[in-house]
A and B are shown apart, each in its own frame.
Chain A
Amino acid sequence: QVQLVQSGAEVKKPGASVKVSCKTSGYIFSNFYIHWVRQAPGQGLEWMGKINPSSGTTSYAQTFQGRATMTRDTSTSTVYMDLSGLRSDDTAVYYCARVPGVGTARFDYWGQGTLVTVSS
């Protein structure tokens, strides 16, 4: 069965970086884009960007340009999201989700979410 399993919760200080992993299984890794979406406490969903696991090509929301970096490891079918220059308003649950191609917001499977807390 399709699974996206994310790494555990993180606590970081302002200015630090965090790297969240999303290990996929149960499907052909290269056939589905992986997107990252975050949700601050009590707030809505915010799209961060996406990676094509086949080519490694990435695209980021303007808000995260220069701060977020998405990579993948095809040998382990794992995608990573690195966010630098953390601020208190980066405190959120970060989700990975897969999409069957471009031009759609059809996230059919999601990771369980990773809480990142930024606090001094």
Chain B
Amino acid sequence: QSVLTQPPSASGTPGQRVIISCSGSSSNIAGNPVTWYQQLPGTAPKLLIYSNNQRPSGVPDRFSGSKSGTSASLAISGLQSEDEADYYCAVSDDSLTVIFGGGTKLTVL
């Protein structure tokens, strides 16, 4: 059971907008930047969003992140079949320990 809580699954149809949540606490999300990763089967995680809402170069602007208080969210708009993957939130907490959310499996119907 992770300290960061994510829904185990999410789904949407092509073109839809999907939101994945990540719930934490005052000692982790509230005071520290949140990062999101996408992991395709059999591959290493890929950096998707950092510093709550920043996209690395090469990440489509269909992906966006936000944070409010002790929660963060990843939004994927214009859902595509290749977005089917596992998504993880992560944060370095007040003691500089890195915590990952339990992960959300996104299915594109």
- Report A's interface with B, CB cutoff 8 A: 35, 37, 44-47, 50, 59, 61, 95, 97, 102-108, 110-113
Q: Contacting B88 at CB < 8 Å: which of A44, A95, A102, A104?
A: A44
Number of interface residues of B (CB under 8 A): 26
Tell yes or no: B100 within 8 A of A by CB: yes
| A102 and B97 within 8 A (CB) | no
Interface residues of B (CB under 8 A from A): 2, 32-35, 37, 39, 44-47, 50-51, 56, 88, 90-92, 96-103
Contact check: which of A44, A46, A106 meets B35 at CB < 8 Å?
A: A106
Q: CA–CA, A111 to B45, complex, Å? A: 10
- Inter-chain contact A107/B47, CB cutoff 8 Å: yes
The residue in chain B whose Cβ has the minimal distance to the Cβ of A110 is B44
Cross-chain contact B96 with A103 (CB below 8 angstroms): yes
Most chain B CB within a 10 A radius of its CB, from A37, A105, A108, A112: A105
Looking across the interface, which residue of chain A has its beta carbon closest to that of B97? A61
Chain A: CB-nearest residue to B31: A103
> Do the beta carbons of B50 and A106 come within 8 Å of each other?
yes
- Beyond contacts A44-B102, A45-B45, A47-B98: 18 other A-B pairs, Cβ-Cβ < 8 A, are A44-B100, A44-B101, A45-B88, A45-B90, A47-B100, A50-B98, A102-B96, A103-B96, A104-B50, A104-B51, A105-B33, A105-B91, A105-B100, A106-B47, A107-B35, A108-B56, A110-B46, A112-B44
